[in-house]
Amino acid sequence: MRELSIREMRAMLGRLDELVEKEGEVIVTRHGTPVARILPTRGAKVIPSHRALRESMSPMPIPSEVLVRQDRDER
């Protein structure tokens, strides 16, 4: 985390992206009082594949086709 006055931030505006990437968080102050916080954006969420989801699930003790047939027969 780094603190910058408004004057320092204006002088570094062209390199602000590099500063945020390096520091992770930048606090902008006016007369020593924090007025803004600049944070990096979050990365995109990784969506797992269908195969990975299926492999992470334990197999059902009763196959789904049997459960569907039982449900239909009870109606």
Distance, in Å, from the CA atom of 13 to the CA atom of 18, rounded to the nearest integer, reads 10
What pLDDT, on a 0 to 100 scale, did the predictor assign at position 10? Answer: 92
Within a domain: 30: yes
Q: Where are the beta strands (DSSP E) in 11-69?
A: 26-30, 33-38
Q: pLDDT by residue (tens digit) across 13-61?
A: 999 989 998 988 999 999 999 999 999 888 778 888 999 888 998 888 9
In the DSSP assignment, the letter for residue 57 is S
- For residue 27, the domain's CATH number is 3.40.1620.10
Within a domain: 56: no
- Is residue 71 pLDDT above 90, yes or no? yes
Q: Other C-beta atoms within 10 Å of 16: how many?
A: 14
Stated pTM of the model: 0.54
Report the sign of the C-alpha dihedral through residues 18, 42, 9, 14, in that order.
positive
